[in-house]
Amino acid sequence: MLSDFKIHVVAPVFTTGNMSDQLIVHAFCNDKMASSLVECVLFDSNSSDARMIGVEFHLPASAFDKLPENEKMLWHSHRFGVSSGLINVLDVNGTESTDQNLLSKIADAYGKAFCFFPNKTNEAVPLGAPTMLFTFTEESQVDPKIIKKLDAIMGSSLASRKANRTKLAESSKNSSNPFADSWRNGTAWSLAFVPSPVNVTNFNCSAAVMSGSGSNNTANSTGSQQSSASSSNSTSSSNSTSGSACPIVKTLPFVLCTDDSKCPMPQATMMAKGQGQTGNQKRTGNQEKIDEWLNQAMTNAAGWLNELADMIRD
């Protein structure tokens, strides 16, 4: 499987929202240029100690054009990069490939790339959310230092590579899809870890409900949960099996931000409902106590996340 990743693409890219944050990536892609999806593994160099920093997917124009418009905005084009000499291919000997057929396929494809390591850092592990990577649409956008480094890797100048690809530029399709490279319209797409609603249940309890074993059996299967909740409120759990069903905890989403002034942490809230209950059933006293305990637990979790956000900012 790994032996299929033999197409070595070298290109300068920038991280979403910051065109000055530029780097050169070495993408090793599988040999599926004729299929609908190409998968690539990204490294920060071609040396023996290179670090794997991300992944990328390529789609041919025919498949890309069928994507929803809002999805297309997360992808970047390759046409200018290939025709200008910015996007290149190295052969197995580490020298520039002049395979016009392969270059043409890359030029007509669109990429979606994610980087898990912050640029210009030496972090030992990937921290935080990954960033998206985008390609350039004009030569003037690229830092001259990056071009110089790229030329050293390729063993040729940008001008000479561009001159050798004039036929490729002429034969390329009219233009890139207008929804790709969405940053040109001033929109930068970034990623963040956002806690989402989660349903937590007990499959043993669910099986008891579905088999018609009755509420007492389902309550017994979660007795330890209810007992723990009751003891935290200094309340006896002797009635925890009376009319109680397995609780499903659903947490409402809240956002972990690094700038409280722009995106404050809302109060975490939650709701619980019993599996197998109808909507018009009244909640028992024990269920109300479980709700109270779980709500306090979620409030504590929100505090921990705020502390984590403070550590990230520091």
Q: Is 8 a member of any domain?
A: yes
**Number of domains present in the structure of the chain:** 2
Q: Is 179 a member of any domain?
A: yes
pLDDT band for position 202 (50/70/90)?
A: low
What residues contact 181, with CB distance under 8 A and at least 6 apart? 76, 77, 134, 135, 137
- The per-residue pLDDT for 116 is 93
172 and 31 belong to one structural domain: yes
Q: Where are the beta strands (DSSP E) in 123-234?
A: 131-134, 199-200
Chain centroid to CA 38: 18
pLDDT band for position 39 (50/70/90)?
A: very high
Question: What is the share, in percent, of the chain residues with pLDDT greater than 70?
Answer: 60
What is the span of the domain harbouring residue 119?
2-185
Q: Is 192 a member of any domain?
A: no
Residue 31 has pLDDT above 80, yes or no: no
CA 54 – CA 56 distance, rounded (Å):
7
Q: Are 144 and 84 in contact (CB under 8 A)?
A: no
Q: Is 47 a member of any domain?
A: yes
Q: Is 17 a member of any domain?
A: yes
Q: Is 224 a member of any domain?
A: yes
pLDDT band for position 168 (50/70/90)?
A: confident
Neighbours of 83 (CB within 10 A): 22
Alpha-helical (H) ranges within 54-130 are 61-64, 69-72, 79-84, 100-107
- In the sheet with 247-251, reading across from the earlier edge strand, the strands are 199-200, 247-251, 270-274
252 and 302 belong to one structural domain: yes
- The per-residue pLDDT for 271 is 33
- Which tens digit of pLDDT belongs to each residue from 261-312? 444 433 333 333 333 333 344 445 566 666 666 666 666 666 666 666 666 6
- Which tens digit of pLDDT belongs to each residue from 119-135? 777 788 888 889 999 99
Show which of 163, 185, 207 is a domain's final residue.
Answer: 185
175 and 248 belong to one structural domain: no
227 and 270 belong to one structural domain: yes
At CA 201, angle to CA 199 and CA 202, rounded to 5? 165
Q: Is 294 a member of any domain?
A: yes
Tell me the residue length of the chain: 314
CA 28 – CA 7 distance, rounded (Å):
5
Q: Is 123 a member of any domain?
A: yes
Average pLDDT over residues 131-154: 96
Question: Counting Cβ atoms within 10 Å, is residue 145 exposed (0-12), middle (13-18) or buried (19+)?
Answer: exposed
Show which of 160, 185, 210 is a domain's final residue.
Answer: 185
130 and 235 belong to one structural domain: no
142 and 20 belong to one structural domain: yes
